[in-house]
């Protein structure tokens, strides 16, 4: 769940693409629409996605009105949607180029300012994103989409009280998919699982059926909330629905794999993770596959997956997006603990959210720095979030400090929230609980 807020930005930008696209189509005479078919970015008709179609429309608008910012803004939004569809971070460079041209044409234009905030969020430049998002709100105080960027930045920086107020403002201005999704996430952070499910159902119901990727995204995250509530069968139904709406959607494939892990179907989990990896290679999927291979005794295949994680890190291919996950991966596997702690400290210096505090706590624990680990894990627990991994880490840290009652409480809660929260670490939690009872 840590990455949910950043992906919500894509919903907002997809809406932007439609709105600006309407403007472009309104201006554009019918005779010029055929020119979009010659654009090299356009996918074949039978495989064209909503993003592909918006890219074509935007390029046609730019060709027709190169001195208007609208076409460039629409192109930026469409490329962001394409990044969501494909999981390819490379599209963000195209977003950045389109926004640069938009600002050159109209330096203070509001749509570009708002999308610039979302782009900075995608780059994990949260401190920079917040003032840009607030400037967008100042430009148009009733722009509910701009409030979304404010919410995302505040959440990632760990400024949750301010984020709650911004979400409420966003809901007051317009209750719709992106505002409901953010409300769901904030409720989840505060431990209100049922409230999170309720808000996410509203997000699903209000999602645009003409944008299957966004609807599928909502279904996946509704499934995640249901899984967190101990309803794995219902969760898998949402993942299946997402795959029906948007076949081979990488987020839904990975979610379905997690569902299969919960059902103790490791062969099924491997199949879905492999399909997700074929669709969009990512360090997270490689980590998950490697752990399943380890558990099932396929050590050679596990090694290959872990080498893939290392390759992405060494080449910088992820642009720092997976730094926190990488630190957690190393700590889980007792690898490169000094490097893991250095990453966690760097991330914590940049933001004070609970998930970064959790990773820092776990890295400190693995280095034997238990007192400092306790301070960090208490920060991670401060909202009462029902997160199995955070509670597992808390249990292990309290156990190391000799606080047996607190350790047992958190380990039991971790396994109650999700008995299969991690293919390998869940077994460690059970072993630790047994040792506390001995």
- pLDDT (mean) for 380-387: 97
Say what the pLDDT of residue 281 is. Answer: 84
**Distance (Å, whole) CA 176 – CA 96:** 27
**120-129, 300-309, 387-396 — most confident range:** 387-396
Q: How many other CB atoms sit within 10 Å of the CB of residue 31?
A: 7
- pLDDT (mean) for 307-328: 74
Say what the pLDDT of residue 225 is. Answer: 96
Say what the pLDDT of residue 314 is. Answer: 61
pLDDT at 397 over 70: yes
**Distance (Å, whole) CA 51 – CA 32:** 20
176-223 pLDDT, tens per residue? Answer: 999 999 999 999 999 999 999 999 999 999 999 988 989 999 999 999
Q: Would you give the end-to-end CA distance of the chain in angstroms?
A: 34
Please give the CATH superfamily to which domain 1-174 belongs.
Answer: Tetratricopeptide repeat domain (1.25.40.10)
Break the chain into its structural domains and give their ranges: 1-174, 265-320, 322-437
131-178 pLDDT, tens per residue? Answer: 999 999 999 999 989 999 999 999 999 999 999 999 999 999 999 999
Say what the pLDDT of residue 72 is. Answer: 94
23-43 pLDDT, tens per residue? Answer: 333 343 333 333 333 333 433
By the 8 A CB rule, do 365 and 396 touch?
A: yes
- pLDDT (mean) for 342-363: 96
CATH topology match: 265-320 vs 322-437: yes
Pairwise pLDDT comparison (389 vs 322), residue with the higher score: 389
**Distance (Å, whole) CA 381 – CA 384:** 6
Tally the C-alpha atoms within 13 A of residue 211's C-alpha that lie toward its C-beta.
26
CATH of domain 322-437: 1.25.40.10
**Distance (Å, whole) CA 136 – CA 186:** 22
Q: How many other CB atoms sit within 10 Å of the CB of residue 209?
A: 8
- pLDDT (mean) for 304-313: 82
Say what the pLDDT of residue 129 is. Answer: 96
Residue 353 is classified by DSSP as -
Indicate the pTM of the whole model: 0.84
- What's the gap between Cα 122 and its chain centre? 10
Under 8 Å CB-to-CB from 138, ≥6 apart: which residues?
none
Q: 87: pLDDT confidence band, cut at 50, 70 and 90?
A: confident
Say what the pLDDT of residue 310 is. Answer: 77
By the 8 A CB rule, do 136 and 149 touch?
A: yes
Residues 158, 4, 420: CA angle, nearest 5 degrees: 100
Torsion of CA 370, 374, 377, 382, to 10 degrees: 180
Q: 287: pLDDT confidence band, cut at 50, 70 and 90?
A: very high
* Residue burial 46-62, b: 16+ Cβ < 10 Å; e: rest: eeebbbbbbbbbbbbbb
- pLDDT (mean) for 71-90: 87
- pLDDT (mean) for 103-112: 94
pLDDT at 22 over 90: no
* CATH class of the domain defined by 265-320: mainly alpha
By the 8 A CB rule, do 283 and 309 touch?
A: yes
> How much of the chain, in percent, has pLDDT values that exceed 70?
87
Say what the pLDDT of residue 311 is. Answer: 77
């Amino acid at each position: 769940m840590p990455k949910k807020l950043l992906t919500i930005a894509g919903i907002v930008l997809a809406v932007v693409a439609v709105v600006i696209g309407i403007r472009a189509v309104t201006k554009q005479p019918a005779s010029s629409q055929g020119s979009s078919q010659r654009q090299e970015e356009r996918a074949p008709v039978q495989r064209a996605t909503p993003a592909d179609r918006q890219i074509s429309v935007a390029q046609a608008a730019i060709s027709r009105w190169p001195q208007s910012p609208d076409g460039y803004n629409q192109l930026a939004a469409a490329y962001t949607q394409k990044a969501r569809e494909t999981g390819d971070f490379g599209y963000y460079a195209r977003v950045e180029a389109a926004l640069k041209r938009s600002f050159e044409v109209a330096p203070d234009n509001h749509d570009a300012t708002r999308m610039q905030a979302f782009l900075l969020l995608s780059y994990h430049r949260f401190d920079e994103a917040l003032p840009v998002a607030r400037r967008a709100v100042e430009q148009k105080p009733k722009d509910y989409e701009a409030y979304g960027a404010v919410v995302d930045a505040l959440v990632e920086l760990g400024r949750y009280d301010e984020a709650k107020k911004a979400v409420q403002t966003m809901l007051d201005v317009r209750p719709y998919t992106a505002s409901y999704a953010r409300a769901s996430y904030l409720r989840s952070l505060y431990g209100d699982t049922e409230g999170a499910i309720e808000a996410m159902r509203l997000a699903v119901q209000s999602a645009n059926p003409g944008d299957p990727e966004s609807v599928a995204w909502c279904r996946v995250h509704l499934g995640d909330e249901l899984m967190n509530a101990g309803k794995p069968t219902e969760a898998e139904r949402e993942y299946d629905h997402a795959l029906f709406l948007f076949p081979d959607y990488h987020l839904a494939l990975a979610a379905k794999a997690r569902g299969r892990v919960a059902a103790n179907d490791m062969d099924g989990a491997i199949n879905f993770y492999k399909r997700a990896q074929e669709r969009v290679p990512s360090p997270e999927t490689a980590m998950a596959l490697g752990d399943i291979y380890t558990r099932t005794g396929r050590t050679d295949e596990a090694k290959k997956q872990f080498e893939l994680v290392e390759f992405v890190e060494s080449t910088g291919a992820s642009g720092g997006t997976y730094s926190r996950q990488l630190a957690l991966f190393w700590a889980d596997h007792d690898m490169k603990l000094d490097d893991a702690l250095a990453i966690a400290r760097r991330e914590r210096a940049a933001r004070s959210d609970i998930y970064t505090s959790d990773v820092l706590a776990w890295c400190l624990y693995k280095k034997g720095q238990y007192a400092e680990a306790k301070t960090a894990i208490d920060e991670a627990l401060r909202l009462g979030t029902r997160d199995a991994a955070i509670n597992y880490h808390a249990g292990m840290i309290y156990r190391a400090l000799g606080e047996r009652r607190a350790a047992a409480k958190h380990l039991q809660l971790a396994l109650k929230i999700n008995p299969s929260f991690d293919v390998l670490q869940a077994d460690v939690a059970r072993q630790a609980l047994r040792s506390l009872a001995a």
